[in-house]
Every structure is written in structure tokens, then in C-alpha cells.
Chains A and B, each alone.
Chain A
Amino acid sequence: MKNNTPHHIWHVDAKINSLQLLRITLTERTTRLDLGYQANDEYDYGWWINIYQETHLLTSVSERKFLMQDHKNIVTAPGRLNYESRSDWQFFSLFFAPLPLVDQYVSMIESEKPDKNNFNFYNIPLITKEAVLFKLD
């Protein structure tokens, strides 16, 4: 049976270092974050990416941690996706438990004690009326 409940998608353009947070998608089953990584001049001897399994979302409307449930086009640490060139790029997606459908600020936390290599985004506004509705196939 197809689910006709509208799903929400936010186009965001948040950036930390070489990582861009591009879209946040909210369905009744999941919260999906689409991200793009572009290496830069810092990486003369190749580079790699991965994501910590404990990566989670925090929201301004709840105390709950929304844990990462799945990932696509990236591996969890200690695994690594290795690249040779600083012109290489990687598009990947992270999946979390569904957020409540209310206006809120969302943070993606890869590490609670981050260093410069961690993928942490803070206080991304998700305003319901700014979302675009989309339909699942």
C-alpha cells in the first residue's frame, strides 16, 4: 500500500570546512540528511572520510537524541573511504529517527568533543512552512 502522507524536504546550505549540508528530508519513518564533501588544498597526500556510528541529531524541541540508523555512500569509523585527489568529491546521506514535524533548530553531532575533522552542524532552522512537500514513489 502506498503512503500518501506528505513528506517534507528543506533545502539548506550549511557549510563547515569542506562539508556541505544540502537537504534535510523528513518522512514518518526517517530523517534524512544529504551531504556533500569536496576535498581542498589542505589534502596534498590524499584524503579519506568516514562517520562515527554515534552521530546523532539534537533538536530544540526535545531532549532526546535522534541516533543515526543508517548511512549511504559513506562508511562508519574505523572504516574509511579513501581518495587520491583533492579534486575528488563525495555525496552521502545519513538517516536518523524521524524528528517531530514542528518548527525547530536541529544540530547534527558526530562528536560531542569535536576536533577539526568532525562533522558537526549546529542550529539549522527547520521551519515547517518553508519546507517543500514531496511524494515517495
Chain B
Amino acid sequence: MPINKNALRRYQIIDHVILQKDLHKPTIKRMIEVCEREGLKVSKETISKDLGKMRQPRPAGLDAPIVFNFSTQEYYYEDDSFSISGIRLTREESSLLQESLVLIQCLLKTELGDKLRHAMEKVLSTSIEEPENTLGFPVLKTMEPPRSRGYEFMDLLLQACRARIPISFVHYSYSKEAFKAVVLHPCLVREFDNRWYVFGFSEGHNSARCFGLDRMYEPVLLQRSFWNCERATIDNFLNHMYGVYPLREGKTETVILQASPLVTKILSANPIHDSQKVEKNLRGVGTITLTIIPTMELIQFVRSYGPELRIIGPAWMANYDKNT
């Protein structure tokens, strides 16, 4: 049912007033008062129409079992457990949802993000509780990296993943300093460290590959049959890596790191991966064990801590760190 924003808000207020029958008499007068308190100017006729609309069966209405008691002039739900929101939100829950909305706004700034935000706002409007913030600054602040190149392809890539449509694009390799035209059968789009990647089966490589959106040019949807990636490959990419670019054959290995007491504390509080195990000696020096597919990003992460964190094993990875 298409509902404009104000109407939806009024319905929520009516719902709220009826549900609060133990506190206030659920009359039209009360509904008008709450609407006005919420900044909505309404007439008795509007509320009457709203009540009628809410009673109508879906999809035209909300199927609300609203009954009018002539003797008390009150409205109530025939079914006591009914609420048009389905779930009754407390002030705290509403506040939590509002904070989630901030996160979503930060994460997704595409057309998709706008749609999602719109959907979230609808969810929020099921609660008439307004977030209260008189401080003049946000009490929840996330890191907001500038939008990177290639982000504009997000909607097309998501469409290709969902509808299983192969794509053609030109890829520029930063390391090889060369271009290549790629046909990819994309499975999913993934974010890592504020960068976006598309993962799928690359015809040219004859294997699953990951491509940074920032290195992508002019993707187009192709009309040809779609080649699936193996589920295990997708699972590895999603769950068994720190980062997106596997090293060597991309097999799971036991990676052992040695960390200073300070870094041991940090990594104990902020694990690198679900598989992480930490053992400390008496001085607090940690041995961190990960069961993970080694990646370039993992090596870069270790390097970022300088001498306070180093790779002990496997040997090839420890040497990789030293030799490059």
C-alpha cells in the first residue's frame, strides 16, 4: 500500500494512542493532541479517515481490527496483541535503530544506500519516539572515508551478482602497470578496509578472482550464460581470509605471530580473525595463532605494527615478510 510519510506517521500515532489505553483515553481528541505535539496539524475528519483506512484489508489498508465504543467514545483493538508495527519499539530500541541508520548511511552512499536508508526510515517511523539530541553534535560518529573511485559501479555490480549476469570491464593493475579486458561472472561484492571488491569467476584466469572497484573501467552487462563459483571458494573468500588477495595457492594454513605485550593486549581486544587464539608468557609477550588463508593484507597488517608484531610461521610467510 503506498502511504505518504505524513499518513504513515499519523497511523503510528493512532496505533500508539490505542496501545496506551491504560495511560490515556484513546479518543480522537487525544489522537489530535499527540499529532499536534509531533508537529502534525490534523483535523477530526483526517483522523476519522485514517481510522477507516487503517481498518481496510491489505493491501489497501492495514487490516487493523479497530473498534469504536460508543458509550465511552474510545477506540480499541479487538485483538489486544495487535499493533500495526508488529513489533512495539521502546524508546531505547528506537534510539538503537536511529544509530544503526547512521552506520548504514556511512556504509552505503550509493543509490542502494538511499533505498536502504529510506527503508530504515520507514522502520523508524513505526515508532513515534524521536531521537533526542540537544547537544548539537552527534553522539555516534563513525569513520567516513571519502568515496573512492569505482564506487559508481556498485549498483550495476550488485545487479549482476543478484541476477547472475556476467560482466565485461577493463582492469588496470597497479602492480603490473597494465590494462586487461576481463570477463567476470560476479558472485558478490565485498568491502575490506573501506575498499570495495567484486569477486567471481574470471574467464581469462579460468579461476575465481577478486578485482578492486577502484581499478575498474566501464563495466557492462553481458548476454551469455553464467558460470558459478564453487560454494567452497566463496566460503573461503568470505570467511577464511583477512583481506581479499590470497597468497600462493590460497590454502588454509596455521599462521603464527609473535606480539609485544602492548600489541597482544590490542589484538586480544580486537581479534584479527574468528580463529584467533592468544597465548601469553609471563612477560605478556603473545603468541597468536590463526587458522587462515594467508593474504597480502595480513602481511601488510603485521608490517603496520613494526617490530612489535612479526610472523613466526609458516616459514615462507616469515621470509616473505623479510624479503619484500
Q: Which residues of A contact B (CB under 8 A)?
A: 6, 9, 11-13, 20, 22-23, 25, 34, 36, 38, 87, 89, 91, 93, 132-135, 137
Show 16 residue pairs from A and B whose CB-CB distance is below 8 angstroms, ordered by the A residue.
A13-B180, A22-B170, A22-B180, A23-B170, A23-B181, A25-B220, A36-B170, A36-B179, A38-B178, A91-B170, A91-B179, A93-B218, A132-B183, A132-B222, A134-B223, A137-B221
CA distance in complex: A105, B23 (Å): 83
Minimum CB distance partner of B222 in chain A: A134
Shortest Cβ-Cβ A-B pairs, 7 listed:
A36-B179, A11-B181, A133-B223, A22-B181, A91-B217, A134-B222, A134-B220
Minimum CB distance partner of A11 in chain B: B181
The interface residues of chain A lying within 8 Å CB-to-CB of B178 are 20, 36, 38
CA distance in complex: A22, B223 (Å): 19
CB-based contact A87/B177 at 8 Å: yes
CA distance in complex: A6, B217 (Å): 21
The interface residues of chain B lying within 8 Å CB-to-CB of A134 are 168, 220-223
Chain B, 172-214, CB within 8 A of any chain A CB: 172, 177-181, 183
The interface residues of chain B lying within 8 Å CB-to-CB of A20 are 178-179
B224 at the A interface (CB under 8 A): yes
CB-based contact B172/A91 at 8 Å: yes
CA distance in complex: A12, B183 (Å): 12
The interface residues of chain A lying within 8 Å CB-to-CB of B168 are 9, 11, 23, 132, 134
The interface residues of chain A lying within 8 Å CB-to-CB of B177 are 38, 87, 89
A108 to chain B, nearest CB (A): 16
| Size bracket of the B interface | 10 to 19
In addition to A9-B168, A34-B170, 7 A-B residue pairs with Cβ atoms within 8 Å of each other are A11-B183, A132-B224, A133-B224, A134-B220, A134-B222, A135-B221, A137-B221
CA distance in complex: A94, B223 (Å): 23
B138 to chain A, nearest CB (A): 37
CA distance in complex: A38, B172 (Å): 10
CB-based contact A34/B223 at 8 Å: no
Minimum CB distance partner of B176 in chain A: A38
CA distance in complex: A75, B216 (Å): 21
Chain B 148-182 interface 0/1 with A at a Cβ cutoff of 8 Å (1 = within): 00000000100000000000101010000111110
CB-based contact A89/B172 at 8 Å: yes
CA distance in complex: A132, B217 (Å): 17
CA distance in complex: A22, B217 (Å): 11
Minimum CB distance partner of A23 in chain B: B181
The interface residues of chain B lying within 8 Å CB-to-CB of A9 are 168, 220, 222
Minimum CB distance partner of B221 in chain A: A135
CA distance in complex: A6, B222 (Å): 10
B110 to chain A, nearest CB (A): 15
The interface residues of chain B lying within 8 Å CB-to-CB of A6 are 223
The interface residues of chain B lying within 8 Å CB-to-CB of A135 are 220-223
CA distance in complex: A137, B221 (Å): 8
Minimum CB distance partner of A9 in chain B: B168
CA distance in complex: A38, B183 (Å): 22
The interface residues of chain A lying within 8 Å CB-to-CB of B220 are 9, 25, 134-135
CA distance in complex: A105, B221 (Å): 26
The interface residues of chain B lying within 8 Å CB-to-CB of A25 are 220
Minimum CB distance partner of B217 in chain A: A91
Chain A CB within 10 Å, residue with most, of B179, B217, B223: B179
CA distance in complex: A6, B223 (Å): 8
CA distance in complex: A23, B170 (Å): 8
CA distance in complex: A136, B181 (Å): 18
Minimum CB distance partner of A22 in chain B: B181
Among candidates B181, B218, B221, residue contacting A12 with C-beta atoms closer than 8 Å:
B181
Chain B CB within 10 Å, residue with most, of A12, A22, A93: A22
